[in-house]
């Protein structure tokens, strides 16, 4: 990781590091099914990679993980060299559980497609990370904070939302392909966000987020998804915005691994059939050489 460009996006660094783990893995051969041991290794090493990358980007030395802490607390320790209040750790842990797996999303589909070819778990996870990087998938929680920074004040929310909708802009953190009447993961995350606010003593971001939510309800009747309260919570926890999507990876590694193990247990190559539409037959002519 010391040779990665300092300007690299954390998701690109993470994808590359996971590929390197595949190079180091003992006994991983084409056709071998993924194992629980490999899944546990990825679940342990990925938060270590993310935290080390964060500290390196800040010119700091990595902090080694502790064997007396769980994943959530250990991540704070490796990122900051200290532990926050228990309420903050619990809120973060809850967010990881809520993000861990969620229906047949793009990165889950990528994982199963790669594993269906009898490739390995490290390659499938690297491919899933690449899919999650996109702002239409995992990058939405980053976009939420960028949006709130642009709005700046609660009193600006209504005009900003109306103007953005008139311009055809997508309002990040709202709507969901599956949850048409509200994301069921939002209420538990919102409760945890309130605990973070109480622990940190900062209500400004929540008041701004609430103003945007009200403006969206009035303008379109669209509800927030998990990315909306989670993005605000991560910001109050002290994580940089560029770290939000890698945190998503930290959580979803368990879901991807579960999909991989399930796919390998009863595998069939996933090869969608495409309907190739052309504008009628075309004549092929031979071009004589001059």
Catalytic annotation, residues:
137, 176, 227
Q: Which residues, listed in sequence order, are joined to residue 174 by a DSSP beta bridge? A: 224
In this structure, what is the dihedral angle of CA atoms 105, 191, 229, 134, given to the nearest 10 degrees?
A: -20
The H or E element containing residue 128 is helix 121-132
Q: Which residues, listed in sequence order, are joined to residue 224 by a DSSP beta bridge? A: 174
Task: Mention every residue, 6+ apart, whose C-beta is less than 8 A from residue 145.
Answer: 231, 232, 234, 235, 241, 244
| Nearest Cα residue to 141 out of 179, 96, 198, 178 | 96
Half-sphere exposure of 49 (CA within 13 A, CB side): 24
| Nearest Cα residue to 78 out of 250, 255, 194 | 250
The span from the CA of 114 to the CA of 125, in Å, is: 9
Q: 284: which DSSP letter?
A: -
User: What is the SS3 assignment for 174?
Assistant: strand
Encoded tokens for 129? 């990370």
């Amino acid at each position: 990781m010391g040779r990665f460009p300092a300007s690299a996006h954390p998701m690109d660094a993470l994808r590359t590091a996971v590929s390197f783990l595949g190079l180091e893995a003992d006994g991983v051969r084409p056709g071998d099914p993924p194992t629980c041991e490999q899944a546990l290794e990825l679940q342990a090493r990925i938060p270590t990679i993310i935290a080390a990358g964060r500290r390196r980007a800040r010119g700091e030395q990595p902090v080694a993980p502790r064997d007396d802490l769980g994943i959530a607390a250990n991540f704070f320790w490796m990122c900051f060299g200290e532990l926050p209040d228990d309420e903050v750790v619990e809120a973060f842990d809850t967010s990881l559980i809520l993000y861990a797996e969620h229906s047949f999303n793009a990165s889950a589909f990528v994982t199963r497609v790669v594993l269906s070819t009898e490739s390995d778990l490290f390659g499938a996870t690297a491919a899933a990370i690449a899919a999650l990087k996109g702002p239409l998938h995992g990058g939405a929680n980053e976009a939420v904070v960028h949006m709130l920074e642009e709005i700046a004040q609660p009193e600006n929310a209504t005009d900003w939302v109306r103007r953005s909708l008139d311009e055809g802009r997508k309002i990040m953190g709202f709507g969901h392909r599956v949850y048409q009447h509200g994301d069921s993961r939002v209420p538990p995350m919102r409760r945890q966000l309130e605990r973070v606010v109480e622990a940190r003593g900062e209500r400004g971001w929540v008041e701004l987020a609430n103003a945007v939510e009200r403006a969206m309800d009035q303008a379109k009747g669209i509800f927030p998804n998990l990315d909306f309260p989670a993005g605000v919570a991560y910001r109050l926890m002290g994580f940089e915005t560029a770290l939000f999507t890698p945190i998503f990876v930290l959580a979803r590694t368990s879901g991807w691994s579960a999909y991989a193990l399930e796919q390998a247990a009863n595998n069939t190559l996933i090869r969608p059939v495409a309907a190739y539409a052309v504008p009628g037959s075309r004549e092929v002519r031979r071009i004589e050489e001059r």
